[in-house]
Amino acid sequence: MAKRFGTKRSPDGRRKLEAHERSSKNGHGVVLKETREGSVCAFLEKGHLVLGAVLKIKGAQLRVLGDDRRERNIPQRRLLGVCGVLSIDGSQDAILEGLSRLKKAILEQSKEIDLPMLWEALVGDLDVVEPEELGLQWFGDDAEPDQIMAVIWAVLQDSLHFKLKGGKIRVQPVATVEQKQRERQLAQRRKEAQQAAVAWIRGGLPPENQELLVGQLKEVALFGSEAPKFGELKPLLRELGRAGDEAHTAFKALVEVKIWTPEENLALQREGVSVEMEPGIVQAANSVLDRGWDSSLRQDWTGRHTFSVDQEKTRDVDDAMSCWEDGARLMVAIHITDVAEFLDPGSELDLDARMRGQSIYLPDRVIPMLSRVLSEQGASLLPKQLRPALTMVFHADPSGVCQDPRFELTLVAVDEKLTYDEVDERLGSNSMFQKLLAFCQAHRQVRREQGALHLPLPEIALVVNEEGEINVSIQPDSPSHELVSELMICFNEQVAKLLSQREIPALYRGQPEPRKRILGETPTLFQSLLQRRQMLRSLLESKPLRHTGLGLEHYTMASSPLRRYLDLCVQRQLKAAVTGCKPVYDAADFEELKPYLALAQRRAQRIQRATERFYMLLYLERLKEPLIQALWFEPYGKREKVILLPFLNEAEVAIKKREPPPPGTLVDLEILDVNARKETLKLGYRSVAKKPKGPSELLAPWLSEKIADG
């Protein structure tokens, strides 16, 4: 086969080229021989080359029989060119056989064309060349139409050295070819990396870029299409899973290679919260405990009976209490562990606590703000252990007023670590506890008279044990819970008053008036849920402001310094007030601190909500019967909102051509689809419920009144 690169055209070659140029042009601008019935034309169909025999011509439209056995009408502008002639008088099979032979010849000839060689011969001399000229250059002056078509097809397949555009073939510049070669090499490396990644995820050896790949998979698993490298990873994820499900596919891949576990908490991963303390923080905490504390200015309370009240498994004990009778007066002491004694402002431990902001309590774990050697050991008010504390002593007046409060630095040793159930039992026979409860109930009533909004909502405890079992229980507002809660409110209120009176900078909690007050004297569960929706977010300010929810004019947070950084900061200011020393913080310091505290609170809330929802959905996945009960709540666009029981979480239900039940109605719902990992829950309305059953039986005492009304 003749190959002519830049040679002088012979007279016969010039005549052939001129004949081509005298013919018509198609929509691609490629010069065509005259099209007539029986002509074999070439065109593209979804990127594939199709040859067709022209059966009939009507204006600019051609009726052709393609080599794919289909007849179709196509406009002449779609043609790549005419590459032969066939008799159309014979049978259809004969026409198809002729088309097949011609197409096979074109494809085989196109494979023989060395486009890089052609390009090297032409680049720098020509910018554009006619398709026919390129064909004549390769096949010689006797090039036939099918050979011209072979060149055109080779160019279309290559797209590196030449480009067909506007009826001419552009000779790509050297810089363009080199750039495309680099892109192809990069694409090839990505393809090889993808194949290696797929092999690894399916049980093979780790790829060279394992660390980079793991980081990218984590980003997609956490943030989906918002991940920075989502586009790069999409082909891999599409090979491993379904389109549109890339985040879940990435998660499964990380589980397959044992980077994550099936129970991985993605909320923690998204927020960047580390579960374990850095070794340096643990070491610093141990060093602080080794140095001890100064007890010279502290009052010794070890001779006074002291008790704490917590859940049975609680180890980070912030508070304890003492109570005794002084003549006719009931005296109470509230002891708060002195965490400020262990953490120097600006120290490594302090900055880490500030960064974490607060402890995070989840169904399957606790992520403490402080190292466990402090929060669960050295600074925790554990039984029979001497600890530094800040103590508030006051006369608990039967009217519910906290009289003559005073604060002092103390040394305490808890005599008894009581559970809430144990306190409830003692309230039946212990007169001291009965008097203390009477004061707490009177104190709550005083707050109610001052506008406090108490929502009698049961606390739902969602707990995951070591075997992965999910247990749901109800923690009612029992007398022991009321007792402890009111004493902590007393403490925080009196701290706020003291700091405000002495003009010592602090941060105060407040809450605006709700959008609407709904609760009456004996509210139902449904009314309490409605009221919860009307409450506004609490505020954190440098001056006292009214806390509507509590019915107080002064309120701060100082009772949980093991668990909240705000409480630790306020405790430092309280120590300054007690000792007469210069306060640790000024007003500007607290203004600077506010964003950190707000961020920590929002972060903890997001993690807690997401984790609790995950385990709620997982609980629903594991139900033997796909049924759940709920309280009908309110319309929500074209859907309806319900409160799932017993979780008291909102969900959506679609109602199709059915009248929704009245708000507050107990209903049976069908779980149509639930996937904890994908965070999906689809519910269908079945009917009004006759009585609580299944998980909602836990809430039967709170629902009975509403059901009776129904």
pLDDT in tens, 99-116: 999 999 999 999 999 999
What pLDDT is stored for residue 637 in this prediction? 72
Region 52-57 average pLDDT: 94
Q: What digits encode the pLDDT tens for the residues 151-179?
A: 999 998 888 999 988 778 899 999 999 99
Instruction: Report, as an integer, the average pLDDT of 592-613.
Output: 94
- Tell me what the mean pLDDT of segment 476-482 comes to: 88
Confidence at 701, pLDDT banded by 50, 70, 90:
confident
Residue 14 banded pLDDT, cuts 50, 70, 90: very low
Which of the pair, 328 or 523, is modelled with greater confidence?
328
Strands 162-165 and 366-367, by their bridges, are unpaired
pLDDT at 19 over 60: no
Label each residue of 4-32 as H, E or C.
CCCCCCCHHHHHHHHHHHHCCECCCCCEC
pLDDT reading at 32 higher than 50: no
Amino acid letter for position 337: T
Residue 302 has pLDDT above 60, yes or no: yes
- pLDDT tens, position by position, 561-571: 999 999 999 99
For residue range 444-456, what is the model confidence (pLDDT) as tens digits? 999 999 999 888 8
**What CA–CA distance (Å, rounded) separates 629 from 648?**
11
Q: Is the pLDDT of residue 370 over 70?
A: yes
Distance (Å, whole) CA 426 – CA 456: 23
Q: How far apart are CA 572 and CA 628, in angstroms?
A: 49
- Could you give the CA distance from residue 589 to residue 570 in angstroms, rounded to a whole number? 12
* pTM for this entry: 0.78
Per-residue model confidence (pLDDT) at position 8? 34
What pLDDT digit, counting tens, does each position of 75-86 carry? 988 888 899 899
Residue 704 pLDDT: 67
**Two structure tokens written together for 661:** 């039940």
pLDDT recorded at residue 659: 82
Q: Tell me what the mean pLDDT of segment 14-30 comes to.
A: 39
What's the N-to-C CA distance of the chain in angstroms?
95
Query: Quick one: average pLDDT of 646-651?
Result: 93
**pLDDT surpasses 90 at 30:** no
Q: What is the mean pLDDT of residues 182-208?
A: 91
pLDDT given for residue 703 in this prediction: 81
DSSP letter (8 states) at residue 259: S
Q: Rounded to 5 degrees, what angle do the CA atoms 249, 252, 258 make? A: 145
Mean pLDDT throughout 307-315?
93
Q: Which of 45-54, 387-396, 649-658 has the highest mean pLDDT?
A: 387-396
344: left (phi over 0), alpha (psi -120 to 50) or beta: beta
Confidence of residue 205 (pLDDT cuts 50, 70, 90): very high
In order of 275, 287, 567, 603, the CA distances from 372 in angstroms are 12, 13, 18, 21
Q: Which residue has the higher pLDDT, 639 or 306?
A: 306
CB–CB of 573/505 below 8 Å?
yes
CA proximity to 436, closest of 478, 484, 375 = 484
For the segment 396-405, the average pLDDT, to the nearest whole number, is: 96
Q: How many CA atoms lie within 13 A of 673 on its CB side?
A: 7
Which of the four pLDDT bands, split at 50, 70 and 90, describes residue 5? very low
Q: Alpha helix (H) ranges present in 580-694?
A: 587-621
Average pLDDT rounded to a whole number, residues 629-638: 84
With a cut of 80, say whether residue 4 has pLDDT above it.
Answer: no
Confidence class for position 31, pLDDT limits 50, 70, 90: very low
pLDDT band at 476 (very low <50, low <70, confident <90, very high): confident
Contacts of 382 (CB under 8 A, 6+ apart): 315, 317, 414, 417
pLDDT category, 705, cuts 50, 70, 90?
low
Annotate 453-480 with b (16+ C-beta within 10 A) or e (fewer). Answer: bbeebbebebebeeeeebebeeeeeebb
- Mean pLDDT for the stretch of residues 609-634: 93
**pLDDT tens sequence across 315-329:** 999 999 999 999 999
Query: What domains sit in the chain, N to C, each tagged with a CATH number?
Result: 11-172 (2.30.30.140), 182-262 (no CATH), 279-610 (no CATH), 623-709 (2.40.50.140)
pLDDT at 16 over 60: no
Type and span of the H or E element at 423: helix 420-426
Quote the percentage of the chain above a pLDDT of 90: 71
> What's the mean pLDDT when you consider all of the chain?
89
pLDDT at 81: 87
pLDDT at 2 over 60: no
Name the percent of the chain lying above pLDDT 70: 94
**Sheet strands side by side (includes 79-85):** 71-75, 61-66, 48-58, 39-45, 79-85
